[in-house]
Structure 1
């Protein structure tokens, strides 16, 4: 990780009683604290509407750390030192008194620190509060220093292109662009960050990274979880907005981008935005030809019965909202002309799996009859953190017989230290003012432009070509058919049972 800076840090979390704070933000900040990545002087101000006893609130945060921290249960002495930096502020996000009280606390901390440090305001709130809080921070001059003050906004960033533009306009009228950090936790994952290092620091791959050698690319994020208690939000969103527009398109950008001129935030974000703007727009006809949408029905996942999506809480029994999307995209630039990018995501599927597959073209000279498996570069983001290269090799013996083998790099075997969670990396970047892993306003709008023709086509024909798939499967057959003739089916990570057997035999 990057060296810590000397600036004191006033960290404010709006929505402090929410699940995100308990599961992700406080465990991440605690891990940064015990590993000495936070500045020596910092304070965490937790703001929420509910009236709670501060001791009980901190005990609830501690239970979250004990349950979700990668370092396991907190050591009492270290937790005591961390918890002493946390204060709870009960306040209504819509009332000026909340921000007056907050400003007093922040300024008192800075006076005691004898230095004006960094201020970070994290919006762990429902989208309807983003503009309310932003307006109050601007009006009360809590976030007016363009060098040291930053806001962090979670997705969804708008619900379509028009609302995203409106929100961007609203925020950039009150803050400079460099103060706004639009967070996508996928970009903080260690394996995702490693893709750039893998591509641009190893020249052996870069000459092959183009239409001359690559047949197609698959980017798949399969989720084993169902919608669960998020039905109210999800039924108005769907998989395209929830996953494709942000997570998967960002993965596509990292895979497809040109090498930036330098490892600097704006150069990298320029390269990503250029990719988004080069994606071939969908016509209505192409939407129904190259995009598959589906919804899960009742089934069984890991021997546990699952109900159908239409039976979930706060979901309409006649809902046409998609829980699965597979699509084929083309990038119109010299590097990728004619190379299809296949994106897929779905809920209530067989297992959790986030994987990128770069499939290379067949050998130009087929002199071996059993040379039938193409070379593949497989980047597993989760659950396994692994990069492997599939290639043909001769089986030991007197005959010339080929078999595909894998050359693996796994984080678990290569490194002994515990890997930081995505939120740890991202929160530290915000404190350091490093926007490399965060989306810029034009990136967000370019991503919405990619998916808007799909959303518009579905809006006009709500049930047209809506498929269904049983919970506990890999999605509808149409999702695999989309890959033809490039592949018969989506690449699947080995099953848990296979992984266990391989580990035993090592």
Structure 2
């Protein structure tokens, strides 16, 4: 199976913060891959904008180095790379001053899509938006992309929304969450809403519980300053994991339409019960295996920010009342894995004598690594000697199911940037959705004010207290591997 590549309209994409880490690792290599795939038409340009004084030639050299570092050898083509680099321009601009804005305005063309990627600190969003309008660089059809963190609490999120709203309509604002660009996340919607198989079972009557895990093996070194102010709750749960929870729990929208999808996600967030103190565990990783601990990484021996959080959430609506959702994320854990596991209830009556042999049916949606899905079902163990049950997976690895070419899936940023150019906001967060997520998150953070997180050894599954969070309910976390 070969995936179809549908070209977008010609565009001018201005990336503010074009010499930063995100542009180097994701944006520039991703756009090159879309050019190589034939999705970006000839009449398109990428304009880098940053404070650094740099010639267009130097920026092209910077982009070439990024491609060399972050694009696989089998996706390198000298002629295509040269043609891509020829699309690049650069302007030195002062986000909070007037330097460079006239030069940027002079580069803008009529008749193409204009998009502006704010790959900068949120404190600069307002200044950039104001100057784009002041110099007539952005018009009513332009699109702006803003990166997380989108606020640090409800108050700051509202302020950012208000700042952007002074200059752009909500339909022009694309709040990017790269988790929503992952192939498996979108396949979750396809599995739920394009097949009759699961929908009758997708409720509290048949689902025992849901686990969402995002585990990382790395620590916070390199992001220490940001991370120590945010912690895992703000960095992961409020946005990435909240979005996964919404896609699992949402009602079918009337149509695969941006506002229809986001309306249903918003309903889930508003139906979340407040989290009780006994239903949340925080942790900090200790030194080990020749690596510093969290306190050493952030150079703050008094830090109370968490590198791990596990919690139990409940949704008070008709579909999910009584079904717990367990969320877990952390740094310096046993393995790098992101997955959603939907565990179904056991049959009401077993006709088999070997009751101990029964295991639950589990649908596992894996986001990374090895994107794919498997459904664990019970079958008879082969051989004579009676009816012995064994659990086996019905596995669908995208790499195997779609073949070599079909498995070559775009990076999440590639897909989302192309959606910006198309004007498709389905996979982007709406302002009221962001505020609702913070309205739920803020009281959770307030619960542990002044409390130190539990310690945990690196290379484990987190603090022992997190295991007890599920053990007391007669359940177990899935193994991180």
Give the TM-score of the pair, scaled to structure 2.
0.95
Shift of 1:467: 0.6
Q: Deviations over 1:196-218 (max 9, x none)?
A: 00001110100000011000000
Contact kept in structure 2, 1:65 and 1:72, CA below 8 Å: no
Deviation (angstroms), 1:485 = 4.5
1:319 matched to 2:303:
yes
Larger deviation, residues 26-35 vs 178-187: 26-35
Partner of 1:441: 431
Once the two structures are TM-superposed, the CA of residue 187 in structure 1 deviates from its matched residue by: 0.3
Confirm whether residue 281 of structure 1 aligns to residue 274 of structure 2. Answer: yes
Q: What is the Cα-based RMSD across aligned positions, in Å? A: 1.5
Match of 1:469 in 2: 456
Distance 1:449 1:239 in 2: 17
Match of 1:498 in 2: none
Q: Are the counterparts in 2 of residues 67 and 73 from structure 1 also a CA contact under 8 Å?
A: no
Per the TM alignment, residue 138 of structure 1 is displaced from its structure 2 partner at its CA by 2.2
Structure 1 position 39, deviation (Å) = 2.8
How far does residue 253 in structure 1 lie from its aligned partner after superposition?
Answer: 0.3
SS at match of 2:95: coil
Moved over 4 A (4+): 70-73, 485-488
Q: How many positions carry a matched residue from both structures?
A: 472
Q: CA deviation at 1:315?
A: 3.2
Instruction: Output the CA distance in 2 between the equivalents of 1:485 and 1:359.
Output: 17
- Farther-moved stretch of structure 1 (246-255 vs 94-103): 94-103
Q: Is the counterpart of residue 402 in structure 1 residue 389 in structure 2?
A: yes
After TM superposition, list the pairs within 5 Å mapping 1:38-187 onto structure 2: 38-69=40-71, 72=74, 74-106=76-108, 110=109, 115-145=110-140, 148-187=141-180
Q: Scaled by the length of structure 1, what TM-score is found?
A: 0.91
Q: How does 1:6-25 map to 2 (within 5 A)?
A: 6=9, 8-25=10-27
Give distance in 2, aligned partners of 1:130 and 1:170: 8
Deviations 1:88-115 (A, max 9, x none): 1122211223222111111xxx2xxxx5
Residue 488 of structure 1, CA deviation: 4.2
Gaps of 5+ in 2: none
Q: Residue 4 of structure 1 corresponds to which residue in structure 2?
A: 7
Where does residue 502 of structure 1 map in the other structure?
A: none
Which ranges in structure 1 are unaligned for 5 or more consecutive residues? 496-506
CA distance in 2, matches of 1:361, 1:2: 41
The whole-number CA distance in structure 1 between the counterparts of 2:171 and 2:136 is 17
Cα distance between partner residues in 2 of 1:33 and 1:408: 33
CA offset digits 1:255-309 (Å, max 9, x no partner):
0000000011110010101100110123xxx1x2011011111123xxxx21101
CA deviation after TM superposition for structure 1 residue 40, in Å:
2.8
| CA distance in structure 2 between the aligned counterparts of 1:94 and 1:326, rounded to whole angstroms | 40
* Residues 133-142 or 248-257, more deviating: 133-142
Q: 1:375 aligned to 2:368?
A: no
Q: Distance in 1 between matches of 2:33 and 2:443?
A: 42
Tell me, what secondary structure is at the counterpart of 2:25?
helix
**How much has 1:70 moved relative to structure 2?**
5.0
Distance 1:352 1:487, change over 3 A: farther
Residue 489 of structure 1: CA displacement? 2.9
